[in-house]
Amino acid sequence: MQTFDLAAKGLRELNSSLHALKGTTNMTEWEVINPKGAHAIAAGVDAPVDITVRGSTGYYCAGMNKQATIRIKGSAGPGVAENMMSGTVIIDGDASQYAGATGRGGLLVIKGNASSRCGISMKGIDIVVHGSIGHMSCFMAQSGNMVVLGDAGDALGDSLYEARLFVRGSVKSLGADCIEKEMRPEHLALLADLLKRGEADHKAKPEEFKRYGSARKLYNFNIDNAEAY
């Protein structure tokens, strides 16, 4: 176990040590202490390591993550796991705005609530939120899966492409072109797997969720609307 005191050694030394691992390493266990809300903690890691951050983080923690499992034993600031490529990020507390934005792969688990714009423009990432998500979540989400055990705020899935959204609680309002869709057996199976991987299978059952997706009406220009422009 490598223990890194962020307050004593600073962010650049942490991230350059993590970047130096370059894909393979025998130093697989890392612990970061005294994060104190610092920005960009463990951003850009590309190695199969397990990093535990003991406290709350600021902007862009675990951004662009590849391969690593990053655990935040507190809450995360804006843009956590932004553009994640692969690996897993698990937050014990809440996440601020645009968690998992533009994520292309991997799994983001938020055990508390996520605020606005969670999963905005997601492109393949899976996100499991044990609590609720804020307004404009999954705006223009292209692919991947969003699972919300609690409620969703205003304008869920506005201008959605092909991401699948599963919400157990209420949805304050659906965004443009986002509709409720039937839950078929393949969706229940997918959801069961996501709940299990998201450490939420003891909290919720797949049958309790509703599925939302794109009505696909914004995909092409509709000539009948020409006069509106």
User: Which spans of this chain sit near other proteins (rule: CB under 8 A)?
Assistant: 36-38, 56, 58-59, 75, 77-78, 94, 96-97, 115-116, 134-136
Q: Which tokens belong to 26?
A: 């025998």
56/145 with CB nearer other proteins: 56
By beta-carbon proximity to other proteins, the closer residue of 77 and 213 is 77
CA dihedral in degrees (102, 108, 112, 114; nearest 10)?
A: 10
Tokens of 188: 């229940």
Q: Which residue's CB is nearer to other proteins, number 41 or number 127?
A: 41
- Least distance (Å) between residue 95 CB and other proteins: 10
Q: How far is the CB of 82 from other proteins (least distance, A)?
A: 15
Which residues pair with residue 107 across a beta bridge? 88, 126
CA gap 117, 133 in Å, rounded: 8
Instruction: Please say which residue, 9 or 36, places its beta carbon nearer to other proteins.
Output: 36
Contact 59, 35 (CB under 8 A): no
Query: How many residues does this entry show for the chain?
Result: 229
